[in-house]
Structure 1
Amino acid sequence: MADITRRFGWRHLRSAPTAHIRHHKRGELVHDGPGQSFWFRALSAAISEVPVEDRELAMMFHARTADFQDVTVQATVTYRISDPAVAAGRVDFSVDPDSGGWRAAPLEQLGTLLTETAQQHALDVLSRTPLAVALADGVASVRDRIGAGLTAEPRLPATGIEVVATRVVAIRPEADVERALRTPARELIQQEADRATYERRAVAVERERTIAENELSSKIELARREEELVEQHGTNARREAEESAAADAVRAEAEASRTVRLAKAEAEAARENGDARAAAQSAWLRAHAEVDTATLHALAATLVAGNLPHIDNLTLSPDVLTGLLSRLGNADGARP
């Protein structure tokens, strides 16, 4: 939209570089081109503003396939007005000299023209295409047909329109049909998911079995090692008992040998001691045999006196003294 300002009964127009301005004054073309800026009088001016930038036109329409199924086509057409003079002569692009806005709706007219033309070519393709093929390959075929049809349409160059690009976004069936078509794929996906689940479970079971086998093998190996340990303990205990018995035998043998040696030594000592005592006794007897009886009595009395306890006081009664003196007298009388 052009910017128009008013000063003292005059109007000033300033347009953008993407807008082509055509200014007629009293039927004569005064200004023509994009990005114009000029003064004018409203009563004598006729101004048209034609956009020359690329514009996107989104369209959506229904079609019927060869098997009588309704589909919705979503497409986008990029176009530009390549000949502003022709477009201004065929479509009303005139602007209000006070507001700068279009008096009519030229872009809607161009959009209707492009949409109906594209729809005509799309319907021509889809009406001979089954639904399954349209959903699988219909986007490319419809896009090519719409592009070729718009390029060959004689009304577009006659209106100054050039088609830049054509895109088909989607071709979709009705909701019920789409759900029905999705069902086999969903079932297949579900089957694949179930198969993956079963395989995962099978793998899990196999891994659990492997783990159980490993645990069982570990327990068996542990039991075997415990058995070996018990056998080793028994062997060690038996060896220890044998060594202890051997040590006890050696110790007993050594003790017996020592006892025998001690007994022999004691017997030898006893024998030598007895021999010495016998020799001493014999010598003692021989010595006493050569001594007279009085001497023996004196020695005996000496020995008895030596073995008597300590006597502080000795009391002799007359009877004892008389008997003792009698014995002494008898002994002296009997001695020659």
Structure 2
Amino acid sequence: MADISRFRFINHLRANPTTHVRHLRKGRLVHDGPGQAFWFRPLNSALSEIPIDDREQPLLFHGRTVDFQDVAVQATVTYRVTDPALAAARIDFGIDPDHGHWRSTPLEQLGGLMTELAQQAAVDLLARMSLTQALSEGSAALRDQVGSGLREDERLTGMGIGIVDVRVVAVRAESDVERALQTPTREMVQQAADKATYERRAMAVERERAIAENELQNQIELARREEQLVLQKGQNERQRAVEAAAAGQIQTEAQAGRQRMLSQAEADAKRVLGAAEAEAEKALLAAYQDLDQATILALAIKQGALPEIGTLNVTPDLLTPLLSRLTNGAAQ
């Protein structure tokens, strides 16, 4: 809004660059343009302040489709005042010369008019569309329809209003109808999700089966290798036993051979020794054969072959031969 300063009987106005100010003094145009700054007398002045910047007007209205379904349309219209003089002549943009406030609500009036015009254009289009078409294709069609309808409307052009842009934010059906329309898509998405879940589970089962089969194959391979190892160990043990038996047999045969050789040598030695002893005994016996009993007895006593004599009994049978021999010897 314009800034107005009061000094006794005269006031000063300073406007913004985005507002167009028209100053009429006694019905004659004195100041006209944006960003004005001037002195004026409140008693003989009429002031109008028209915004010339871009303004946005939100729109929310309802329409009915060809299949009798209620549709809510949310849109935004961007507009500006292209002819401030024409707008000031058609709409009351007058401001209080003491405070600078609008005397009425020109922007609300303009917004209401714009909403009605946009709604009329949108309702005419929705009446020719089904609910499915309105929800799927309605945004672009409504944007074009509302934009062209507002730009070509003579009431807006006659007020010096230009439409800059039209944006349709949303086209919504009633909540229960919208949920009903969303059900097939939700079911399809749920089916796709279930399918993906089943495929993931099937893949997981297949992977688990492959892992189990791989583990089973590993166990079979380990069992086969263990069997080969046991067979190889058995063969090695048998071979070791055979080799040990063969070595033992060879050792036993060698030991037996050595034993036989030793026994034979000992036997031969004993035979030779026995033969020698027998020959010696034979020669000794042959030497003793011609000796008389007394000589043999004397030799036996000399060699210590007789046992120890504890008590000696001299009988006449023993002394008679001895005395006889002594006698014969003395006689000779």
Q: If the TM-score is normalised by the length of the shorter chain, which range does it land in?
A: 0.7 to 0.9
In 1, Cα distance between equivalents of 2:283 and 2:305: 23
In 2, Cα distance between equivalents of 1:143 and 1:94: 33
Q: Encode CA deviations 1:170-212: one digit per residue, 9 max, x unaligned.
A: 1111112112211222222222222222222322332333233
In 1, Cα distance between equivalents of 2:303 and 2:72: 159
Q: Residues 14 and 261 from structure 1, CA distance in 2 versus in 1: closer, same or farther, beyond 3 angstroms?
A: farther
Contact 2:300-2:306 within 8 A present in 1 as well:
no
Partner of 2:281: 281
Q: Provide the secondary structure at the position in 1 that maps to 2:262.
A: helix
Q: Residues 305 and 97 from structure 1, CA distance in 2 versus in 1: closer, same or farther, beyond 3 angstroms?
A: same
In 1, Cα distance between equivalents of 2:160 and 2:294: 191
Q: Provide the secondary structure at the position in 1 that maps to 2:94.
A: coil
In 2, Cα distance between equivalents of 1:276 and 1:97: 177
Partner of 1:191: 191
Alpha-carbon shift at residue 74 of structure 1 (Å): 0.9
Gaps of 5+ in 2: none
1:34 counterpart = 2:34: yes
Alpha-carbon shift at residue 157 of structure 1 (Å): 2.1
Counterpart code for 2:297: H
1:82 counterpart = 2:73: no
In 1, Cα distance between equivalents of 2:222 and 2:252: 43
Q: Encode CA deviations 1:198-246: one digit per residue, 9 max, x unaligned.
A: 2223223323332333333333333323332332233223222222221
Alignment of 1:154-173 (within 5 A): 154-173=154-173
Q: Encode CA deviations 1:262-287: one digit per residue, 9 max, x unaligned.
A: 11221122122223323433444455
Partner of 1:228: 228
1:331 counterpart = 2:317: no
Counterpart code for 1:114: M
Q: Residues 133 and 293 from structure 1, CA distance in 2 versus in 1: closer, same or farther, beyond 3 angstroms?
A: same
Gaps of 5+ in 1: none
Partner of 1:53: 53
TM-score (norm 1): 0.87
Deviates further, 229-238 or 162-171: 229-238
Q: Residues 269 and 6 from structure 1, CA distance in 2 versus in 1: closer, same or farther, beyond 3 angstroms?
A: farther
Partner of 2:131: 131
Alpha-carbon shift at residue 41 of structure 1 (Å): 3.0
Alpha-carbon shift at residue 69 of structure 1 (Å): 1.1
Partner of 1:20: 20
- Identity among equivalent positions (%) equals 55
Q: Provide the secondary structure at the position in 2 that maps to 1:269.
A: helix
Alignment of 1:138-287 (within 5 A): 138-287=138-287
Alpha-carbon shift at residue 68 of structure 1 (Å): 1.3
In 1, Cα distance between equivalents of 2:42 and 2:291: 198
Contact 2:3-2:14 within 8 A present in 1 as well:
yes
Alpha-carbon shift at residue 118 of structure 1 (Å): 1.2
Alpha-carbon shift at residue 4 of structure 1 (Å): 2.5
Q: Provide the secondary structure at the position in 2 that maps to 1:190.
A: helix
Q: Provide the secondary structure at the position in 2 that maps to 1:139.
A: helix
Alpha-carbon shift at residue 147 of structure 1 (Å): 1.2
In 2, Cα distance between equivalents of 1:52 and 1:85: 11
Q: Residues 107 and 295 from structure 1, CA distance in 2 versus in 1: closer, same or farther, beyond 3 angstroms?
A: same
Counterpart code for 1:188: M
Counterpart code for 1:5: S
In 2, Cα distance between equivalents of 1:221 and 1:137: 66
In 2, Cα distance between equivalents of 1:308 and 1:38: 184
Q: Encode CA deviations 1:34-77: one digit per residue, 9 max, x unaligned.
A: 22233333223322211111111110101111111111111111
In 2, Cα distance between equivalents of 1:28 and 1:303: 195
TM-score (norm 2): 0.88
In 2, Cα distance between equivalents of 1:305 and 1:217: 96
Q: Residues 65 and 329 from structure 1, CA distance in 2 versus in 1: closer, same or farther, beyond 3 angstroms?
A: same
Alpha-carbon shift at residue 288 of structure 1 (Å): 4.4
Aligned pairs, how many? 327
